[in-house]
Amino acid sequence: MKAIVTGAASGIGRATALRLAKDARSRGDADVQLLLADISAPGLEALAQVMREDGVQVETFVGDLSDTNVPTQIVSAAVAAFGGLDVLVSNAGIIQRNSLLELSTDEFDRELAINTRATWLLGKAAHPWLAKSRGALIATASVSAGQPTPPLGAYSASKAALVMLVRQMSVEWGPDGIRCNSVSPGSTHTGMTDNRYSDPQQRDAAAKRNPLQMVGSPDNQAAVIAFLAGSDAAYITGENIVVDGGLQNMLMMASAMGDPWRR
């Protein structure tokens, strides 16, 4: 298996890289080759060392996906190292805590560039290789794609655009044999959300808002991403799978009744 994972230094990206390698091994694929990309060099190298010790061929790429040249460079580096590509996981994303009135033009453009445009540019560069392998593209979106999320300004818009972008890719590239899907995490404890979920009171409040009464982990999201990357999902494309503990099903009840799951 030859794969790219962006945003791989921590959180969902790190968990996904580990899960892809684990699942490939369990299928008897001893030749696991991963290119891990992130803006954080220390995090990448720490993960790469762990995976190399486990016998995985790992390449790393440090770059900022708001740069229009970086997505193509990432794909080129993977193909040069591995000779092809089977899976592209476009996971990197940012959250900027500014309301729309406070958001600057540069901040708005950066959020859309990383959260939305980068997936298009990665997919465009990877297209010939994924078509050759009849491979898969999976993007990490968010439950915020379907709900405004104050005070995150452009975040919801960027993720809503991403979900539609992936659907568009699935229609245009499906005839080429490429499956394109997205995963939308709900409350998930990652480095990006640690300031919230490391507080026991905030974590408990978030957990009580969904029927399963829990905050998700990166491993919960990685399991679904890995499923979509594998052959068991060979007839699935154009889908956005929400992994949120059932939160989206509770929004109307929460609005009408307060917090019905608090016990």
The string of DSSP letters for 36-68 reads: EEES-HHHHHHHHHHHHHTT-EEEEEE--TTST
Assigned token pair, 185: 């995490």
Sign of torsion over alpha carbons 231, 79, 9, 168: negative
Is residue 159 flagged as an active site residue?
yes
Q: Is 184 helix (H, G, I), strand (E, B) or coil?
A: strand
16, 225 Cβ separation under 8 angstroms: yes
218, 89 Cβ separation under 8 angstroms: no
Distances (CA, A) of 31 to 82, 127, 157, 200: 10, 22, 39, 42
Which of 22, 155, 197, 235 is catalytic? The answer is: 155
Helix 218-229 × helix 11-26 angle, to 10°: 50
- Supply angle C-alpha 229, 233, 236, rounded to 5: 110
Which of 159, 197, 208, 235 is catalytic? The answer is: 159
* Strand ranges of the sheet holding 2-6, from the earlier edge strand across to the other edge: 57-62, 33-38, 2-6, 87-90, 136-140, 179-185, 240-243
Q: Is 245 helix (H, G, I), strand (E, B) or coil?
A: coil
198, 215 Cβ separation under 8 angstroms: no
Query: Which residues have a catalytic role annotated?
Result: 155, 159
